[in-house]
Structure 1
Amino acid sequence: MRPAPIKRCRGFTLIEAVTVIAITGVIAAVVVGFIRSPVQGYFDLERRVETTDTADTALRRMGRDFRLALPNSVRSVGTSPLCLEYLPTVTGGRYRAEAPGAALDFTTPTTTFDVLSTLNPIPASGDQVVVYNLGIPGADAYSGENRATILSATANSITLDTATQFSLASPGNRFQILPAAEQAVFYVCTNSGSGIDAAGNGNGSLYRLSHYGINAVAPTSCPAVSTDSPMLAQNVSHCEFDYTAGVTQRNGLISMRIDITKDHETTSLYNAVHVSNSP
């Protein structure tokens, strides 16, 4: 028998390897050119969605709070458009104005009065009741002339910790409850006028500050922000708050604008909230 022929194994030559590498590089460059724009577009879209969601969430939260504000309690702080103060409410109702029952008497100090509508939630001890807040001398919750602290309450009755004679009766026999846990609330926008940093991000932040007491005199500057203050938005490059009371004082308009800048791209949102000033 003749011996089987010897099989010779051959590999790639250097020229073939270099050719394959060169061709692969050309193909990779072409592929990168096709997918670069879609990938960059995806990251751009993700950034825009994030900044839009941040601004929208902040404005919605502010709008909800201002709609629940005590009538005639919104006030601008000083001449700055970057800070607004208001008194939040948690519930309200109608008081009994005449006997039988425990009526709220405006001619003599009162300790207990009946509530005609069921309170929900029931006020806690330390919460405050306000009657007919007009925001003027004699009927200003900030000054305390129509405000009293609650000792205890049920769904249909309120007992005050001190006998109080409220200044003016409400035409609709209405009252509002202020929470002791928050007292006055401020929305503060810091560093919004300092532009953007080297990375293209806004330098400012938006905060919601509470429990600053209820001060008769409007502060001339916004309260200080600490490291543990609750933040609603960051990367803020510009914000504006403006409050305009209605001509008849039965409504008001709060205009809010916030710009969020990230990676040299700015998202700007505007919202206007009608505030009921009918106490």
Structure 2
Amino acid sequence: MGVVLTIGPSQRGFTLIELVVVIVISGVIAVVASQLIQRPVEMYQSQASRARLVDRADTALVRMTRELRDALPNSVRIGCSGRCLEFLHVVTGGLYRAAPVGDPLALSFNPADADSRFEVLGLLLDSGSIQLGGSVDACRNMTASCLVIYNTGLLGSDAYNLDNAAAISALNSGAPITLDFINNGFGGGQTAFPAASPDQRFYIVDTPVTYLCDPAGGTIRRYQGYSLQSSQDAVDSHAELLAQNNPAEYALLVDQVTACDFTYNAGTPSRNALVTLEMTMQERGESIHLLQQAHLVNMP
């Protein structure tokens, strides 16, 4: 009996041309898909970077403006072409009792009276923050809190020159509350404050504060606790602030800063002073610019 062999249709794979076409089509699909995915991812990353920058810049500016509201009237100084901001920080204050010459518990503003103690009218808040000193230089070197009266910032009434500032030597928190101060070493040789406050107001300063913007290093740093200087040029750099008799303590406020601009309008007797703070920050090619303003009381 014979055997019959049946041969089916021949089996074959893809041709080279078909493989090339498939590869090309797959590549086109991959490119289109990556574009559809990449763009939203890039937008998300850019938005996230801007949000981080805005949050950090806003936090820094709010911190600065809040602290500026505790500045001694007429003590704000701007230097470094708008990159340095300095002021005297008020820890507390109140009203003093004024009376004729010879009253040991009142300020007479008469050099012949040689006042060295006065009575505080009402309460003295945060009196525990007052640091006492025993020498004239304690106020200048900020190793003691400084008593300041009627600071106009003008010649003869400028706390940076110690024209109207004295180291506090004693505090009596009983009744009545009294403050002792070292009544010598004033500018011009006088032994009393040069001018009374029309509202009988006094301030107690615990430290100068400097905010120093360094766009080259991308930072804004805060400095405090350093010696008072009559000229801001003497404390307008990191090296100078650390070279004072009482070196500054400092901390980083914010980084990734590319530009700053601080301005100060001293105002008038009928209008508050105005500080304007501008800051530019950058991250991953994203840049933001924020502006914050603070109105300051400038009546001493």
Q: Show CA shifts across 1:254-273 (max 9, x none).
A: 11110001111101101121
Task: Determine the C-alpha separation between the residues in 2 that align with 1:249 and 1:143.
Answer: 26
Residue 229 of structure 1 deviates from its aligned partner by: 3.6
Residue 87 of structure 1 deviates from its aligned partner by: 0.8
* 1:171 counterpart residue number: 198
SS in 2 for 1:41: helix
SS in 2 for 1:242: strand
5+ long unaligned stretches in structure 1 = 1-13, 16-21, 195-202
Asked if the contact 1:96–1:103 (Cα under 8 Å) also holds between the matched residues in 2, the reply is: yes
Residue 60 of structure 1 deviates from its aligned partner by: 0.7
Task: Determine the C-alpha separation between the residues in 1 that align with 2:281 and 2:71.
Answer: 26
Instruction: Find out whether 1:267 has 2:288 as its counterpart.
Output: yes
Asked if the contact 1:106–1:166 (Cα under 8 Å) also holds between the matched residues in 2, the reply is: yes
SS in 2 for 1:215: coil
* 1:60 counterpart residue number: 62
Task: Determine the C-alpha separation between the residues in 2 that align with 1:128 and 1:222.
Answer: 22
TM-score, L = length of structure 1: 0.77
State which structure, 1 or 2, has the greater radius of gyration over its C-alpha atoms. Answer: 2
Residue 219 of structure 1 deviates from its aligned partner by: 1.7
Structure 1 runs of 4+ with >6 Å offset = 24-31
Task: Determine the C-alpha separation between the residues in 1 that align with 2:121 and 2:260.
Answer: 43
Task: Determine the C-alpha separation between the residues in 1 that align with 2:218 and 2:251.
Answer: 14
Residue 176 of structure 1 deviates from its aligned partner by: 0.6
Instruction: Find out whether 1:96 has 2:93 as its counterpart.
Output: no
Change (3 A) 1:44 1:84: same
Instruction: Find out whether 1:121 has 2:126 as its counterpart.
Output: yes
CA RMSD of the aligned region, Å?
3.0
Q: Show CA shifts across 1:35-64 (max 9, x none).
A: 544443333232112111111011111111
SS in 2 for 1:187: strand
Task: Determine the C-alpha separation between the residues in 1 that align with 2:268 and 2:95.
Answer: 26
SS in 1 for 2:56: helix
Residue 230 of structure 1 deviates from its aligned partner by: 1.1
Q: 1:153 aligns with which of 171, 174, 186?
A: 171
* 2:141 counterpart residue number: none
* 1:74 counterpart residue number: 76
Task: Determine the C-alpha separation between the residues in 2 that align with 1:129 and 1:30.
Answer: 72
**% same residue:** 35
Task: Determine the C-alpha separation between the residues in 1 that align with 2:35 and 2:261.
Answer: 42
5+ long unaligned stretches in structure 2 = 1-12, 15-22, 133-143, 185-190, 243-248
Residue 67 of structure 1 deviates from its aligned partner by: 1.4
Residue 235 of structure 1 deviates from its aligned partner by: 1.0
* 1:138 counterpart residue number: 156
Asked if the contact 2:260–2:279 (Cα under 8 Å) also holds between the matched residues in 1, the reply is: yes
Number of matched pairs:
246
**Between structures 1 and 2, the one with greater helix share:** 2
Residue 89 of structure 1 deviates from its aligned partner by: 0.7
Q: Show CA shifts across 1:150-186 (max 9, x none).
A: 112244221224465111110000011111xxx2221
